Amino acid sequence: MSETPRLLDPLFRGVFADLFDDNRRVQRMLDFEAALARAEARVGVIPLRALAPIEAKCRVELLDFRLLAHAAAAAGNLAIPLVQQLTALVARDDPHAASYVHWGATSQDVIDTGLILQLRDAFALIESELQRLGDAVAQLVELHRNTLMAARTLLQQALPTTFGFKACGWLDALGRHRGRLREVRRRSLVLQFGGAAGTLAALGQKGLAVADALADELKLSVPDTPWHSEHDRFAEIATVLGLLTATLGKIARDISLLMQSEVSEVQEPLGPNRGGSSTMPQKRNPVGAVVALAAANRVPGLISAMLAATILEHERGVGGWHAEWELLPEIVTLTGGSLLQMAEVISGLRIDVDAMSKNLEETRGQIMAEAVVMALAESIDRTAAQAIVREACACAAAHRINVRDALLDDARVKEVLTVTDLDHLLDPRNYLGSVNQIIDRVLTSWRSAK
């Protein structure tokens, strides 16, 4: 059975859309039902001869999706009509085995565990792509640790930095996200199995034995208690992915700003028809950055809805649980699509070193003003030093001259600094502080945690 992809899925979600399409959703629910039958046969809750007939029908292509969709609208969830169809399929070959379908479970067990299985697939891909992105950023950091450029604060040139150091900030954040993903996966990818009200009463004294066997079949951890109305795990997944999406958006924002025609310090990878315009042949638009920023705009609102949905009533939520069915897959697929796009962008990012150097000289030396102030402040009052350099910068801007010339015209400067001193201070290479030590520290952290 194949589905026609939604037109925008390749742009915004990529392969992550496949992990949460209707076929995969239903198959993961059927995987739960097959595993439940195996577990209960192992423990002796259902007859062993009922297992094969049930397993044989837990295949998504055997179900009538149109009937399933219409029945779900009446039933209130997918699990009820799914179990009905599965039971009918088994009954055609073995009526006796059909009576053991879904034995002792409830709809939420099927739906939540099915979603957990989808999330496990998604986490594996997310972590793989995050590693690919981080490794690509690490290469940029190493390659461009000495590539001078202007640091910008409030969108204005501030001090000299290096492109490697800018990318180092990205890498440091990605390392934290890698740690968060590992933690949330450990805490959240657990079995949901509690029966009608969480007590497993329908299974008598064998409830926990079935839960253990079921978790073993699905390769999931067993939580201390069923979590039908405690959905902090899903909320945590959403918020952790939201943080990752925000960092991807920050990287995308930096890249899109650096791609502006007036700056033009980086470019996204070249490719047939990539980043073009329908009418302007000269355009080189950001593509991956646009997708990442779109996700960063959309996901926070979805997370807010997820947090609201976490407040569930008694032993089964009214509406909140149901809201998660589309919210969480939307968050995962948007995050995944953003990650895929940014991994491609960073892996092929084109750096224009000459443009960075040219832009660094745009203020005719004013970008080095702080360095001069700090040097003067060793001999005169710092406030006075700031005033002197501020006057020189204003003069340089007004007369469109280099700040070096303006400073050399000031007797107060010449009393403290020689021409050689000033030339040293106005060289951006001499005002990078601890850039290389910080880069080494972040690279070591990224690589050692791999």
Cα separation, 58 vs 82, in Å, equals 10
* Known catalytic residue at 42: no
Which is catalytic among the residues 6, 176, 221, 277? 277
Which is catalytic among the residues 316, 357, 364, 412? 316
* Known catalytic residue at 277: yes
Cα separation, 64 vs 67, in Å, equals 5
In three state form, how does the secondary structure of the chain look? CCCCCCCCHHHHCCCHHHHCCHHHHHHHHHHHHHHHHHHHHHHCCCCHHHHHHHHHCCCHHHCCHHHHHHHHHHHCCCHHHHHHHHHHHHHHHCHHHHCCCCCCCCHHHHHHHHHHHHHHHHHHHHHHHHHHHHHHHHHHHHHCCCCEEEEEECCEEEEEEEHHHHHHHHHHHHHHHHHHHHHHHHHHCECCCCCCCCCCHHHHHHHHHHHHHHHHHHCCECCCCCCCCCCHHHHHHHHHHHHHHHHHHHHHHHHHHHCCCCCCCEECCCCCCCCCCCCCCCCCCCCHHHHHHHHHHHHHHHHHHHHHHCCCCCCCCCCHHHHHHHHHHHHHHHHHHHHHHHHHHHHCCEECHHHHHHHHCCCCCHHHHHHHHHHHCCCCCHHHHHHHHHHHHHHHHHHCCCHHHHHHCCHHHHCCCCHHHHHHHCCHHHCCCCHHHHHHHHHHHHHHCC
Catalytic residues: 277, 316
